[in-house]
Structure 1
Amino acid sequence: MSRLMMLPITYILLVLMIQTHDKSFSGYASPAEANVRLKLIHSGAYAPKSDYDQMERIQELVHSDIVRQGIMFSRHRESTRRKAWEKPRPRTNVSIEMPISSGRDYGTGQYFVEVKVGTPPQKMLLIADTGSELTWMSCKRRNRRRGFRPTRSSTFKTVPCSSRTCKIDFMDLFSLARCPTPSTPCSYDYRYSDGSGALGIFARETVTADIANGKGRATKVKDVVVGCTLTIRGQSFQGADGVLGLAYNNYSFANRASRMFGGTFSYCLVDHLSHNYLSNYLTFGGVGAASHSPLLSHMRYTKLDLTSLSPFYAVNVKGISINGALLKIPSLIWAAHRGGGTIVDSGTSLTFLTEPAYRAVVGALGWALSKRLERTKLDGGGPLEYCYRYNSTGSWSGFDESWVPRLAIHFGDGARFDPPVKSYVIDAAPGVKCLGFVSTAWPGVSVIGNIMQQNHVWEFNLVQSVLGYAPSTCNST
């Protein structure tokens, strides 16, 4: 990954002029006093695309996912230093919740959270991402309609480039070595082969959240590591003000918030084709009340591997079955210590399988579907190669889920994940359904994407290294 050697001097001077004195506000409460909510909304909320073409959406979704894989795993290969997870506070009954909804109405597979950053708070629209370590937002520039204004926040404190934090602790966050003066802000440069990237400076900030049913009160999460991005390159972050880092790292927002609420967080993703008025919650402190349903009594658990593929959330997959029969996939495909492994990622939409596993899965599913439906190609091509045409007009839909073999993912400790058919046979265009898998090179890491996770509640227990999951409608409205 290439790095810029220096930041534009005008931006450095801007941040050096920031006042860092703190001010007190009335009406605030400790996080332990009540539940808290930050509103999560889908991409493009300020510019809805009601006429967005489904084919165009799928093509952009696939492109975004492929770019994302390059970003995530190039960073994983370069980032080798990992600090031990800091012990969280004992688990309590208190939790904070952030409403989460599908981006279907805006042609995206991402989930967005509206976060109040700084003092006084400024509203930022950030991607909620379990594959990102750093929380960063675009800093306000003259040619930008939105963006964070650090000069207007009394709690924005830059990290000096001469500090140990910059030189050592932030190496995994791609801090730059250049340090013109001891007080120059520590900078970062994410630069990737597709041309996208983010260039900015590190700081520590306060995130403010309204308390659910708190009658106007709010709570503050202090000392959050943030990036003030000054230059964004490429299309990977289009439509957002930045990223809310939820990966397993001591400097991610997931770490900061989870440590305050017992070391757990969970989410329940509504159907990816749901409209924006249907939502559920991203919860810190356990499975939120809004996610509760009778199905939660069927919660299953499997080991969460927090070391092999850190900072990602890895699971020990044993194999994949079709109609109860395990496919012939070499075991090393699932072994992180042998170049493979599997992660669960909320920021990737489709499910990526390394080539040997991909061929086995799409071969078995495709063979069954080809008996009923005509195979076709998506206009414009793309990596979704197993697509099928059916009659989508009139009262008869022409597609029956009973034609599709049941897929299950088996974990090494005996747990099994049974996604609904709509999670792996997806709508790609009017009258066309595709297998929602993308092939990735071997050796490599497989990714269980958010479409495969939909209509389930997922709980990440970072203390006990356990992943819990259960089917749910995820509809809290």
Structure 2
Amino acid sequence: MKTMTTMFLCLITMLLIASAYSNSVRLHMTHRDTLSPQHTPYHRIEDIMGMDLKRHSAISQKIKTSKSGGRMPLGSGFDWNAAQYFSEITVGTPAKKFRVVVDTGSELTWVNCRFQGKGRESREAFRADESSTFKTVGCMTKTCKFDLRRLFSLAICPTPQSPCSYDYRYTDGSRSQGVFGMDTFTVGLTNGSVTTIPDTLIGCSSDSKGDSLSVSDGILGLAYSDNSFTTKATSIFGNKFSYCLVDHTAHKNISNYLVFGTNPASATKSPAKRTTQLDLNILPPFYTVNVVGISIGDTMLNIPPQVWDVRQRGGTLLDSGSSLTFMVEPAYRAVVTGLERHLVGVKRVKVEGLPMEYCYDTSKYDDRKLPQLAFHFKGGARFEPYRKSYLISTADPRIRCLGFVSTGAKGPNVIGNIMQHEFLWEFDLAASTMTFSPSTCR
């Protein structure tokens, strides 16, 4: 996520999978949230929370591919001790795969790279010099000087032939430095074949720093931006993309897909399917939704309307790069107080290193006592996440916490990936709508 980005904690395999359906492309997507040998259970949660808090602090050429769309595997990062979802991108000629964080708040897609003798020697590095389709963006070009300025292109141009450089910084202190280039991506099609997407912007990062990048080869930027991978892919496969996030504690053998074009799974006439408007131009490059209120059970919470108003430093974003759900203080206090009333008698605990305020020993708690929480969108649509999405598991099976964090007086509110899991989310960029429905993501 550009100003709000951070926390890039790994992705799993984006295997190019075929399907008998048409009109979509998809990538496998997994969540990255497991315990590594170097981390204690609570260190993992502490790291996730730290990255989440920092993340919030700042918050074409068409090719003919018949009528099929594209897809990439998408899964949880649990087995990499990461709080993000990952996919695999295939770049260059000859093509090489890289595990990347799927981030709807980031504009730039980049990978660890070695170019003209600079960069990493590791196996995961993309050797741009060896790709016959890689070409740099020149530092004297309009693309560098104007189009890519928002992506931190640097005003360094020793010669007219020098590449356009960038220094992409994230709010957790992570950074990625390199040069902008164009290369060919290879994606699987839902009709069982594969296709290439030529002349796609990619960051060739010779240097990247930050704990949040340690298990990732790079970032897949899916924000709403002229320079994002989303814009390129949807210009080819249709103006839609979608994803279904498996449970954030799922292992790497459980995954779903990131789909560009119409998702076959969205064709069902589920009565639970809901559609709401997207405000794509109000807080670019983020996906802004019109929340107008939150209810717990049958009670609408008393939350000031300015909390949801972007013009008053409010508003709400849907973000795959944040794990927890962030709320401006009046909304946060109303939600946690409302839920706490239904946890009376359950032992509240303080876990060292865990910034969430409300944690409980729920070993003897009946989840059916916790009422349904619902986000109410303008137009009448309601999003009713699973109880396990807001009373979330920790490394200790006895302890669960309310998965909300206060942002203080500053917005916007952010619906994170744990709240989103086990729902199918489809973004229609042409109609400026978002459709969602419960799904097993299997």
Larger strand share, 1 or 2: 2
Distance 1:191 1:283, change over 3 A: closer
Does residue 100 of the first structure (1) align with residue 74 of the second (2)? yes
Deviations 1:423-442, CA, capped at 9 Å, x for gaps = 10001223111000111132
> Whose Rg is larger?
1
Does the Cα contact within 8 Å between 1:342 and 1:446 map onto a contact in 2?
Answer: yes
Measured after TM superposition, the shift of residue 379 of structure 1 is 2.1
Name the residue aligned to 1:238: 214
Name the residue aligned to 1:378: 351
Name the residue aligned to 1:16: none
Does residue 405 of the first structure (1) align with residue 371 of the second (2)? yes
CA distance in 1, matches of 2:251, 2:372: 27
User: Among 89, 113, 122, which residue is 1:115 paired with?
Assistant: 89
Give the letter aligned to residue 55 of structure 1. Answer: Y
Give the letter aligned to residue 348 of structure 2. Answer: R
Does the Cα contact within 8 Å between 1:139 and 1:150 map onto a contact in 2?
Answer: yes
Distance 1:37 1:151, change over 3 A: same
Deviations 1:189-224, CA, capped at 9 Å, x for gaps = 12356432111110111101244563xx53101111
Paired residues for 1:116-155 under 5 Å: 116-140=90-114, 141-155=119-133
Does the Cα contact within 8 Å between 2:32 and 2:75 map onto a contact in 1?
Answer: no
Does the Cα contact within 8 Å between 1:323 and 1:406 map onto a contact in 2?
Answer: yes
Does the Cα contact within 8 Å between 1:43 and 1:240 map onto a contact in 2?
Answer: no
Deviations 1:146-175, CA, capped at 9 Å, x for gaps = 211001101111011111111111011111
Deviations 1:51-80, CA, capped at 9 Å, x for gaps = 96542322221122122223x52xxxxxxx
Distance 1:37 1:457, change over 3 A: closer
User: Among 230, 234, 259, which residue is 2:235 paired with?
Assistant: 259
Gaps of 5+ in 2: 1-20
CA distance in 2, matches of 1:285, 1:207: 16
Q: Percent identity?
A: 47
Does residue 176 of the first structure (1) align with residue 157 of the second (2)? no
User: Among 48, 52, 56, which residue is 1:69 paired with?
Assistant: 56
Measured after TM superposition, the shift of residue 270 of structure 1 is 1.2
Paired residues for 1:190-269 under 5 Å: 190-192=168-170, 194-211=172-189, 214=192, 217-269=193-245
User: Among 139, 142, 155, which residue is 1:164 paired with?
Assistant: 142
Distance 1:386 1:98, change over 3 A: same
Does the Cα contact within 8 Å between 1:114 and 1:125 map onto a contact in 2?
Answer: yes
Gaps of 5+ in 1: 1-31, 74-85, 392-397
Measured after TM superposition, the shift of residue 243 of structure 1 is 0.3
Does the Cα contact within 8 Å between 2:61 and 2:199 map onto a contact in 1?
Answer: no
CA distance in 2, matches of 1:196, 1:94: 37
Give the letter aligned to residue 457 of structure 1. Answer: L
Distance 1:212 1:459, change over 3 A: closer
Count of aligned positions: 418
SS at match of 1:69: helix
CA distance in 1, matches of 2:271, 2:38: 40
Distance 1:273 1:41, change over 3 A: closer
Distance 1:422 1:465, change over 3 A: same
SS at match of 2:338: helix
SS at match of 2:148: helix
Distance 1:376 1:293, change over 3 A: farther
CA distance in 2, matches of 1:193, 1:416: 32
SS at match of 1:168: helix
Give the letter aligned to residue 438 of structure 2. Answer: P
Give the TM-score of the pair, scaled to structure 2.
Answer: 0.88
Give the letter aligned to residue 67 of structure 1. Answer: K
Does the Cα contact within 8 Å between 1:136 and 1:243 map onto a contact in 2?
Answer: yes
Name the residue aligned to 1:443: 410
Distance 1:302 1:282, change over 3 A: same
Does the Cα contact within 8 Å between 2:28 and 2:256 map onto a contact in 1?
Answer: no
> Alignment RMSD, CA only?
2.7
Name the residue aligned to 1:368: 342
Does the Cα contact within 8 Å between 2:125 and 2:217 map onto a contact in 1?
Answer: yes
Name the residue aligned to 1:463: 430
CA distance in 2, matches of 1:347, 1:194: 13
Deviations 1:5-60, CA, capped at 9 Å, x for gaps = xxxxxxxxxxxxxxxxxxxxxxxxxxx98865544445499xx8489654232222
Paired residues for 1:273-422 under 5 Å: 273-289=249-265, 296-369=270-343, 371-380=344-353, 382-391=354-363, 398-422=364-388
Give the TM-score of the pair, scaled to structure 1.
Answer: 0.82
Moved more, 430-439 or 189-198: 189-198
CA distance in 1, matches of 2:267, 2:75: 16
Give the letter aligned to residue 60 of structure 1. Answer: D
CA distance in 2, matches of 1:92, 1:265: 18
Distance 1:310 1:107, change over 3 A: same
Measured after TM superposition, the shift of residue 187 of structure 1 is 0.8
Does the Cα contact within 8 Å between 1:456 and 1:470 map onto a contact in 2?
Answer: yes
SS at match of 2:150: helix
Measured after TM superposition, the shift of residue 443 of structure 1 is 2.6
CA distance in 1, matches of 2:133, 2:54: 34
